[in-house]
């Protein structure tokens, strides 16, 4: 997916077609009922929209390879 590098605010919309139980770390398990869910995020840090949306689109990881490679090339005070 080709994502822009600009900084800004974004909304991700997820459609859940059937009941799903998810584990949320120390918070425990939650049942997600069918429907639409929205997540609003900000991408004003290093990498902009590409880094943040790329991170959100990769389940169960600590960020995408593109964002990680960009962070490695930033001065330490600008890494997120």
Q: pLDDT digit string (tens) for 16-68?
A: 999 999 898 899 999 999 999 998 988 888 888 888 777 767 765 444 454 45
Distance, CA of 71 to CA of 62 (rounded, Å) = 13
Residue 75, pLDDT > 60, answer no
Residue 4, pLDDT > 80, answer no
> What's the Cα-to-Cα distance from 13 to each of 10, 19, 65, 66, 70, rounded to whole Å?
10, 17, 23, 22, 26
Question: What is the pLDDT at residue 8?
Answer: 86
Residue 7, pLDDT > 60, answer yes
Question: What is the pLDDT at residue 1?
Answer: 65
What's the number of CA atoms in the CB half-sphere (13 Å) around residue 17?
Answer: 0
Question: What is the pLDDT at residue 62?
Answer: 46
């Amino acid at each position: 997916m080709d994502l822009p590098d600009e900084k800004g605010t974004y909304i991700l919309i997820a459609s859940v077609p059937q009941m799903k139980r998810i584990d949320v770390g120390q918070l425990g398990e939650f049942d997600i009922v069918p429907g639409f869910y929205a997540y609003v995020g900000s991408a004003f840090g290093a990498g902009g929209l590409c880094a943040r949306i790329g991170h959100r689109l990769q389940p169960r990881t600590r960020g995408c390879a593109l964002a990680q490679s960009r962070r490695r090339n930033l001065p330490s005070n600008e890494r997120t």
